[in-house]
């Protein structure tokens, strides 16, 4: 299959591909998604095949309005409507109970709930309107690998497997949306993101924090809860404390293969970097680091000689919670120790 790169001027053609049951990657403010008609079961199943994604890992449904959600979900609570009016369009995904039979089990992973999002990207909102259907959209990468934040990342992973990629530059946030479960008595955050628990609590009151890894025989309600995610080919090591960097760089200097270093500019400037260590800047702070994390992991994926990546940690507060969630998953919870 010839994978085309579409611009905003090609939007009608991209929408036609969606209507015809084909796959088109689309931009959002978080990462690039892999789009298919959410009402076309065959098309949805082809998303799993293209990504190599387990079939019990549910998909997020992207919509252009609350009206589109209400077509498939059971009546929304007042709390849900408050969240939608506050955070949509934006990086908040909300799980609702579905009207029976309204969406295929291929979308929901076999559950009676589905996750909905109204992305803050004008191009993609126009794509959904032009196609006339909700669009499923997991991250447009090979399953388990770092999520794509540019059209080039998508092309690297999925060229020849999908019809096209709608290019709208680099994603703003760089980590996926917050996932909030509103299908239970007490709302719960299943995946942290740019919309924090504090942000949500200010609107609807206290929420639970349940972004744990689910059991082998348990069906996850949101992406990223069960399977390996965000991992490059090299082993990622988390550097927990500033004092650990000296020891980590001494260790790196003794390795027979090149080592990657992902850290802020100030942290990189603080040390004498060994000749076999390649640095990747995470910018100035946790905000820029969250934006650049996946780009850095993908950078070192292209450097086949790099077998280890030393990566800076941050306090797990605010956007730092999302950053550390993704970093811990990419590292397989592996922390550098002396």
Of the candidates 179, 176, 248, 245, the one whose C-alpha atom is nearest the C-alpha of residue 209 is: 179
Instruction: Consult the annotation and say whether 298 binds a ligand.
Output: no
Q: Are residues 58 and 131 in the same domain?
A: yes
User: Is there a binding annotation on residue 121?
Assistant: no
Same domain flag for 51 and 115: yes
Tell me, yes or no, whether 205 and 246 share the same domain.
Answer: no
Q: What is the pLDDT of residues 110-144, one digit of tens each?
A: 899 999 999 999 999 999 999 999 999 999 999 88
144-182 pLDDT, tens digit each = 889 999 999 999 999 999 999 999 999 999 999 999 999
Q: Cis peptide before 26, with omega less than 30 degrees from 0?
A: no
Residue position matching structure tokens 């997020």 = 60
Q: What pLDDT, on a 0 to 100 scale, did the predictor assign at position 2?
A: 94
Residue 118 within a domain: yes
Alpha-carbon distance values, 31 to 21, 119, 306, 334 (Å): 22, 10, 25, 25
Same domain assignment for residues 45 and 158: yes
**By the 8 A CB rule, do 35 and 18 touch?**
yes
Q: Residue 46: which domain range?
A: 4-209
- What is the predicted pLDDT for the residue at 304? 72
* 311 assigned ligand-binding residue: no
**What mean pLDDT do residues 229-242 have?**
90
Among the candidates 192, 209, 226, a domain finishes at 209
Q: What is the distance between the alpha carbons of residues 69 and 180, in angstroms, rounded to a whole number? A: 15
Query: Is 117 marked within a binding site?
Result: yes
Residue 212, annotated as binding a ligand: no
What is the number of residues in the chain?
Answer: 338
Coil/strand/helix, residue 311: strand
In a domain, 275, yes or no: yes
| 61 and 180 fall within a common domain | yes
Nearest by Cα to 186 from 207, 204, 203, 205:
207
Q: State yes or no: 108 annotated in a binding site.
A: no
Q: State the total domains in the chain.
A: 2
Alpha-carbon gap, residue 31 to 172, rounded angstroms = 8
The pLDDT value given to residue 99: 97
Closest CA to 197 of 185, 213, 208: 208
Residue 157: asked if its preceding bond is cis (omega within 30°), the reply is no
* Residue 191 and residue 176 in contact, taking contact as beta carbons nearer than 8 Å: yes
Statement to judge: residues 33 and 174 lie in one domain: yes
DSSP 8-state code for residue 47: H
> Is 218 part of any domain?
no
Q: Is residue 217 part of a domain?
A: no
Residues 261 and 195 in one domain: no
**Average pLDDT value for the chain:** 93
**Which candidate, 249, 247, 278, 279, places its Cα nearest to that of 263?**
279
Any domain includes 99: yes
Q: C-alpha dihedral over 118, 121, 126, 132, to 10 degrees?
A: -30
Same domain, 158 and 11: yes
The enclosing domain of 110 has a CATH number of: 3.90.870.10
- Distance between CA atoms of 232 and 331, rounded to whole angstroms? 9
Q: Report whether 326 belongs to an annotated binding site.
A: no
Would you state the structure tokens that stand for residue 32, as one six-digit string? Answer: 């690039």
Which residues, 6+ apart, have CB-to-CB distance to 260 below 8 Å? Answer: 234, 277, 278, 279, 280, 296, 299, 300, 303, 306, 308, 309, 310
| End-of-domain residue from the set 209, 243, 267 | 209
- Is 53 known to sit in a ligand binding site? yes
**pLDDT tens digits, 243-263:** 999 999 999 999 999 999 999
| pTM of the complete model beyond 0.85 | yes
pLDDT digits (tens, 9 = 90+) for 25-36: 999 999 999 999
Residues 289, 248 share a domain: yes
Q: Which helix (H) or strand (E) holds 209?
A: strand 208-209
Residue at 338 is within a domain: no
**Phi-psi region for residue 135, left (φ > 0), alpha (ψ -120 to 50) or beta?**
beta
Residue 221 in domain:
no
**Is 113 known as a binding-site position?**
yes
Residues 265 and 155 in one domain: no
Residue 286 sits in a domain whose CATH number is 3.40.50.11030
Please say if the pLDDT value at position 226 is more than 60. Answer: no
190 and 269 within one domain: no
Whether residue 226 lies inside any domain: the answer is no
Q: Is residue 58 located within the same domain as residue 110?
A: yes
């Amino acid at each position: 299959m010839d994978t085309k790169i579409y611009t905003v001027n090609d939007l009608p053609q991209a929408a036609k591909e969606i209507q015809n049951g084909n796959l088109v990657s689309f931009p959002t403010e978080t990462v690039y998604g892999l789009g298919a008609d959410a009402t076309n079961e065959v098309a949805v199943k082809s998303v799993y095949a293209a990504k190599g994604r387990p079939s019990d890992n549910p998909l997020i449904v992207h919509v252009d309005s609350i009206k589109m959600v209400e077509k498939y979900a059971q009546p929304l609570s007042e709390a849900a409507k408050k969240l939608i009016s506050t955070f949509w369009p934006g990086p908040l995904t909300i799980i609702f109970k579905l009207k029976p039979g309204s969406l295929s089990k291929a979308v929901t992973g076999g559950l009676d709930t589905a996750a909905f999002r109204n992305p803050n990207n004008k191009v993609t909102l126009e794509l959904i309107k032009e196609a006339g259907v909700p669009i499923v959209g997991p991250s447009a990468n090979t399953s388990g690998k770092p999520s794509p934040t540019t059209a080039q990342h998508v092309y690297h992973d999925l060229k020849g497997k999908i019809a096209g990629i709608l290019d709208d530059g680099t994603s703003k946030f760089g980590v996926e949306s917050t996932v909030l479960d509103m299908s239970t008595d007490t709302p719960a955050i299943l995946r942290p993101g740019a919309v924090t628990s504090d942000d949500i609590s200010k609107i609807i009151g206290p929420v639970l924090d349940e972004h744990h890894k689910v059991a082998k025989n348990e069906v996850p309600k949101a992406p990223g809860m069960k399977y390996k995610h965000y991992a490059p080919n090299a082993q990622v090591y988390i550097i927990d404390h500033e004092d650990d960097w000296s020891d980590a760089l001494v260790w790196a200097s003794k390795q027979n293969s090149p080592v990657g270093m992902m850290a802020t500019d100030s942290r990189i400037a603080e040390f004498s970097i060994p000749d076999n260590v390649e640095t990747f800047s995470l910018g100035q702070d946790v905000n820029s680091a969250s934006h650049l994390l996946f780009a850095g992991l993908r950078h070192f994926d292209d450097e086949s000689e790099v077998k280890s990546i030393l990566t800076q940690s941050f306090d797990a507060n605010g956007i730092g919670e999302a950053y550390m969630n993704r970093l811990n998953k990419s590292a397989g919870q592996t922390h550098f120790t002396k």
